[in-house]
Structure 1
Amino acid sequence: MKPLPHRVLRALEQFNATHPWDHNAHYHQWILRQLPKRFDSALDIGSGSGDLARLLAARANEVQGIDSDPVIIHRAQRMTPPATPVTFTVADALTGIPAGSYDVITCVATIHHLPFTEALTVFRQHLAPGGTLVVVGLSRVQTAGDYLLGVAASPLNAATGWLKNKGRRAPRPVSMTALTRPADMSFSDIVSEAHDALPGARLRRRLFWRYTLVWHRH
């Protein structure tokens, strides 16, 4: 299977830079569909500028958003209306989670920065009985299936950016200003380690270079 020609890739990269959009926010509504209509407490790990945490606050009595970047946490605080039941804290995802258990834990495009199994173990320890963990993550391209999804996503990515920006040149979204690094785990390795740490977890490959994990604690 031949890769896309270099000139095509360069053209797509230039187009996407002109019409950027938030691939993680694309999954926010999907995340909400995995959750109850109401719950008491939620934790958003790697909360960034706070978009998902604010959405969770519409269903929760209390939301904690944590991120290791103090600049993005300050930005999230400034962007959040005072009456919103969200607290943003600079904290490490493995050692700094605010004490207590949570009915909902979300983690979007963050877990590939962490030791995977250790992170899932920490998340499980903070999830209340009956609670739901939802992860949207990145995996390393390895198989023909991974490559086919990437090929399918490339023109859709460009079309989505064009539609979301109504054909106009757009600035990079605030939620995308944080630095990220490529994923180093393949999807098959992620599935294997996730099932060891969270028996019964549901994992799926997704478009736009993402996978999802959903686990309910009994």
Structure 2
Amino acid sequence: MATMTTRVLQAIDRFHSAHPWDHNAHYHRWIMRQVPRRFDRALDIGSGSGDLARLLATRATAVQGLDADRAIVAKARELTDPAVPVTFTAGDALTETPPGPYDVITCVAALHHVPFAEALTHFRRHLAPGGTLVVVGVARAESPGDHLLGAAAIPLNIVMAWIKNKGRRARRPDSMTAPTRPATMSFAEIVRDARRVLPGARLRRRLFWRYTLVWHQRPGGGRTHPPRVGR
């Protein structure tokens, strides 16, 4: 089954190259439902071309975008109006994070590029009391449930690609030009390690080969269980 899934995913990659659309941007509105309506400072890890950072800036006093790819950071600066309160920095997520604390930290499709537990511990330290961490990540398909959800996403992926590219020449979004690498951790491993570092974290498998993680820092510095503001 794994071999068949690999072949199907390779075919999807070829189709996606010809009909590109940003799977990560698909979750931006969901991310915004997880964060407060107004907050002070935000940090977007793996900020890419800056789409999410600029979206966060509609609610934040200041947003810091951080990405290891200097070329994509330069592109993000070019695409951002100087009046928007966003600063983009090129640097390593674990060693060159601009000083916090941050009320909101987001990380989309970047966590599998760094040591997982170490990164979550690092994010937790930079999160302000009462702050929110939101992750949209990529996991390695392993269980029957993983493969089933991946299979269910295939026709939806084709439909979305057709909708996104309908009536215009297919163009690879700026957000999809940064280097990528395959995920090495399964969803089960991610859940295990995440809940050890961030007790009470909410994790879910998602369509389009993604998972989500939401964690709220207790005002006193520990975990908390605030009301769910989105699904």
Find the aligned partners of 1:80 and 1:97 in 2 and give their Cα distance. Answer: 21
Find the aligned partners of 2:6 and 2:211 in 1 and give their Cα distance. Answer: 26
Deviation at 1:112, TM superposition (A): 0.2
**Larger mean Cα displacement after TM superposition, 8-17 or 48-57:** 8-17
Q: TM-score, normalised by structure 1?
A: 0.95
CA contact (8 A) 2:53 2:63 kept: yes
Q: SS of the counterpart of 2:44?
A: strand
Find the aligned partners of 2:15 and 2:159 in 1 and give their Cα distance. Answer: 10
Amino acid at match of 1:153: A
Identity among equivalent pairs (%): 67
Find the aligned partners of 2:43 and 2:71 in 1 and give their Cα distance. Answer: 19
CA contact (8 A) 1:39 1:103 kept: yes
Q: Which residue of structure 2 aligns with residue 177 of structure 1?
A: 177
Find the aligned partners of 1:202 and 1:60 in 2 and give their Cα distance. Answer: 24
Deviation string for 1:159-195 (max 9, x for gaps)?
1010011154401111001111000000000000000
CA contact (8 A) 1:19 1:169 kept: no
Deviation at 1:155, TM superposition (A): 1.1
Amino acid at match of 2:154: S
Find the aligned partners of 1:18 and 1:168 in 2 and give their Cα distance. Answer: 13
Q: 1:45 to 1:13 in 2, by over 3 A?
A: closer
Correspondence 1:1-218 to 2 at 5 A = 3=4, 12-166=12-166, 168-218=168-218
Find the aligned partners of 1:147 and 1:25 in 2 and give their Cα distance. Answer: 23
Q: Which residue of structure 1 aligns with residue 224 of structure 2?
A: none
Amino acid at match of 1:98: P
Find the aligned partners of 1:192 and 1:5 in 2 and give their Cα distance. Answer: 25
Q: SS of the counterpart of 2:188?
A: helix
Q: 1:123 to 1:167 in 2, by over 3 A?
A: same
Deviation at 1:14, TM superposition (A): 3.9
Q: 1:13 to 1:193 in 2, by over 3 A?
A: closer
Amino acid at match of 1:163: I
Deviation string for 1:63-119 (max 9, x for gaps)?
000011111111000000010000001111001111120000000000000000000
Find the aligned partners of 1:172 and 1:85 in 2 and give their Cα distance. Answer: 27
CA contact (8 A) 1:203 1:214 kept: yes
CA contact (8 A) 2:65 2:87 kept: yes
Runs of 5+ unmatched residues, structure 2: 219-231
Q: SS of the counterpart of 2:100?
A: coil
Aligned length: 217
Q: CA RMSD in A?
A: 1.7
Q: 1:11 to 1:118 in 2, by over 3 A?
A: closer
Deviation at 1:17, TM superposition (A): 2.1
Q: TM-score, normalised by structure 2?
A: 0.90
Q: 1:11 to 1:55 in 2, by over 3 A?
A: same
Q: SS of the counterpart of 1:203?
A: strand
CA contact (8 A) 2:5 2:147 kept: no
Q: SS of the counterpart of 1:128?
A: strand
Q: 1:148 to 1:61 in 2, by over 3 A?
A: same
Q: 1:185 to 1:10 in 2, by over 3 A?
A: closer
